[in-house]
């Protein structure tokens, strides 16, 4: 896996490059994630596509934007799309196939609704979606989101990271996100731990997380506006969801299908919030079937 950076305003964006030939896939991680979340899936997809994984502003190795909210993340994806169209990224082609997990799924929905010409297809992997009720959230994750929105969270988060250590923090996150973290390839855990060690030196680590967490909550709280964005997506969409996802309950995926009945929906039994780590082979197969399907961008997917 190679990597490179793109200038983005006064900052930069870090991308992991898994290589490959064919249509260009851009992988977008979730809250607190990075390109390292795709080290198992990326090489599989690169067998049939050109695959890039973006570190959204303030995550992975990308410095923060002025405000690390969802709009900033959408702008970052747009910057990559523009770079591909201008030939800055060798071997990549437009329009993109967006694959987003969790927060990256919400970013993919918003990008596809605003920049239809840049998006050929969308794969949503346990995306952040409006909840029927706050009581559907996993207690630990709900508490984390609540604390992240409180003043002083940055200091608390940093102290917690330094006291627990990067490896413990990674395993704690996997315990929340996975049904069985032992399914996660060891190489992926190593990559996430090594990146977490690097990130302990970044002063903006906690503020980026809290800004994004606040933005997710506020965006999804405005359910009607977000569902309007979902309906505005013209590209074909595959929604993959873990039946035992505790962060975004599977009920949210079924509700999304009611809003957008043309979206394809696959439910993975006994899988949690990160299928790209727990079941990368199965997810790759689902993605390839979807990419090989004859669905094309429509004039208006959901009038």
Question: Residue 298 domain-assigned?
Answer: no
Question: Residue 249 domain-assigned?
Answer: yes
Residue 303 pLDDT: 28
DSSP 91: T
Closest by CA position to 78, among listed 128, 51, 36, 116: 116
What is the rounded average pLDDT of the residues 209-223?
Answer: 89
Q: Are 59 and 35 in contact (CB under 8 A)?
A: no
What is the rounded average pLDDT of the residues 26-55?
Answer: 98
Question: Residue 188 domain-assigned?
Answer: yes
Residue 148 pLDDT: 56
Residue 140 pLDDT: 56
Q: Which residue range forms the structural domain that includes residue 16? A: 2-292
Question: Residue 301 domain-assigned?
Answer: no
Q: Is pTM beyond 0.85 here?
A: yes
Question: Residue 299 domain-assigned?
Answer: no
pLDDT band at 154 (very low <50, low <70, confident <90, very high): low
Question: Residue 50 domain-assigned?
Answer: yes
Question: Residue 62 domain-assigned?
Answer: yes
| pLDDT at residue 302 is higher than 50 | no
Please give the Cα distance from 296 to 303 (Å, whole number). Answer: 16
pLDDT tens per residue, range 36-46: 999 999 999 99
pLDDT tens per residue, range 262-292: 999 999 999 999 999 999 999 999 999 999 9
What is the rounded average pLDDT of the residues 187-212?
Answer: 90
For the chain, the domain total comes to: 1
Residue 119: which CATH number?
3.40.50.1820
Would you call 213 helix, strand, or coil by DSSP? helix
Q: Percent of the chain having pLDDT more than 70? A: 86
Question: Residue 116 domain-assigned?
Answer: yes
Please give the Cα distance from 164 to 35 (Å, whole number). Answer: 23
């Amino acid at each position: 896996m190679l990597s490179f950076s793109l200038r983005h305003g006064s900052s930069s964006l870090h991308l992991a490059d898994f290589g490959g030939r064919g249509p260009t896939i851009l992988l977008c991680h979730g809250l607190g994630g990075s390109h390292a979340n795709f080290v198992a899936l990326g090489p599989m997809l690169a067998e049939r596509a050109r695959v890039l994984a973006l570190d959204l502003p303030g995550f992975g190795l990308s410095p923060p934007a002025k405000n690390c909210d969802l709009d900033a993340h959408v702008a970052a994806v747009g910057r990559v799309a523009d770079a591909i169209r201008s030939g800055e990224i060798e071997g990549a082609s437009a329009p993109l196939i967006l694959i987003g997990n969790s927060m990256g799924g919400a970013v993919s929905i918003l990008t596809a609704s605003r920049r239809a010409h840049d998006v050929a297809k969308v794969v949503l992997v346990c995306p952040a979606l409006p909840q029927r009720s706050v009581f559907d959230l996993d207690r630990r994750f709900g508490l984390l989101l609540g604390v992240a929105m409180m003043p002083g969270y940055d200091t608390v988060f940093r102290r917690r990271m330094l006291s627990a250590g990067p490896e413990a923090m990674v395993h704690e996150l996997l315990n929340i996100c996975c049904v069985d973290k032992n399914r996660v390839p060891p190489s992926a855990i190593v990559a996430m731990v090594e990146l977490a060690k690097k990130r302990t030196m970044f002063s903006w680590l906690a503020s980026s997380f809290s800004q994004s967490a606040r933005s997710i909550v506020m965006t999804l709280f405005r359910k009607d506006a977000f569902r309007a964005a979902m309906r505005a997506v013209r590209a074909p969409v595959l929604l993959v969801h873990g039946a035992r996802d505790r962060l975004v309950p599977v009920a949210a995926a079924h509700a999304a299908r009611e809003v957008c009945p043309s979206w394809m929906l696959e439910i993975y039994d006994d899988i949690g919030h990160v299928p790209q780590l727990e079941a990368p082979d199965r997810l790759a197969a689902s993605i390839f079937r979807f990419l090989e399907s004859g669905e094309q961008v429509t004039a208006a997917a959901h009038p």
